Amino acid sequence: MSRKVSLSVLAATLLAAPLAHAYEPGDFVLRAGPVLVDPQESSGDLRVEGVRLDGAEVGVDSDTQLGITATYMFADHLGVGILGATPFSHDINGAGDALAGTGKLAETKHLPPTITLQYFPLESGSKIQPYAGIGVNYTVFFDEDTTSTLTNALGAASTDIDLDDSVGLAAELGVDFMVTDHIGVNAAVWYADIDTEATIKAYDGAGNKVATGKVDVDIDPMVYMLGVSYRF
C-alpha cells in the first residue's frame, strides 16, 4: 500500500471515529486533589473593651488539604460548581508593630463550601475545557483555641477565642484536560472574600471574665488546586 493511500485510510478512519465529547448537558464532573488556601489577610487593630491598641494586629498562615469539586452541566457552556475540602487548620499569629514576633496566639479550623455558576466557552467536542465562575463562599470556623502566649500577654488565667462565620463573593478560573472520555486532569484557582471578627475573652483564676477584645480580619485567600477529574 502506498504512503498516499495509507494516509487516506488513516484520515478516513479518524473522521469516522466518534468525537470524544468533553462536556454536554447532564454531565457530572468530579475532581479531587490537593488544595492550598493562601490567606492574603489584612487586620485591624485589636480593641480591648472598646479601646484600640495601635499596631496590635494578627496574621493567618496557609494550609493544604484534600479538595473535592464537582460540576453539573445544566446547559451548553453552563454548569454549577461546588468546592469542598477536608477541614483547613490555620495558626493565628501576632502581627503589626505591637505584636510582630510574639508568635502563635491562637488556632482555628474552617470549612469553605463554595458554589459558583461556571461558563465553559469552548464547544463540547474540545478536550481542553477552560472555565470561569462566580458565586458565593460560606466559611465556617470551629475548634478555635488560644495559646499560653496570648493568655500570658493579657495577664489572664485563661482565654478563649471565637471567630464569626463569613459569607462573601467567590470567583474562579480553571481548566480541564480530558485524557480519555471520562478521565482528565484539572487546575483551578479561586479568590474568596472571607471577613471575620475574632472575639477574645480573658478570665481570672476563678473563671470570671475580666476583659473582652475584638479584632477584624479580612482573610481573602487565594485558593489553588491541582487534581484529577472523572466525567460521569
Q: What is the pLDDT of residue 12?
A: 45
Give the pLDDT confidence of 18-61 residue by residue, as tens digits.
Answer: 444 568 899 999 999 999 999 998 999 999 888 888 888 999 99
- The pLDDT score that the predictor gives to residue 48 is 87
* pLDDT tens digits for range 10-28: 444 434 444 445 688 999 9
**Rounded to 5 degrees, what angle do the CA atoms 45, 165, 117 make?**
120
Residues 6+ apart with CB under 8 A from 192: 112, 114, 137, 139, 168, 169, 170, 220, 221, 223
Find out whether 199 and 215 touch, Cβ atoms under 8 Å: no
Total count of domains within the chain = 1
pTM of the predicted protein model: 0.85
Instruction: With a cut of 70, list the residues of the chain below it in pLDDT.
Output: 1-22
Q: How far apart are CA 217 and CA 50, in angstroms?
A: 16
Q: How far is CA 80 from CA 5, 29, 72, 114, in A?
A: 47, 10, 5, 11
CATH number at residue 163: 2.40.160.20
Q: Write the CA distances from 164 to 58, 62, 84, 127, 217, integer angstroms.
A: 15, 19, 19, 42, 10
Instruction: Give me 76's grid cell.
Output: 451548553
* Range(s) of the domain holding residue 167: 3-231
Q: Could you tell me which of 169, 185, 174, 176 has the C-alpha nearest to residue 221?
A: 169
pLDDT number for residue 8: 53
Task: Write down the pLDDT at residue 166.
Answer: 97
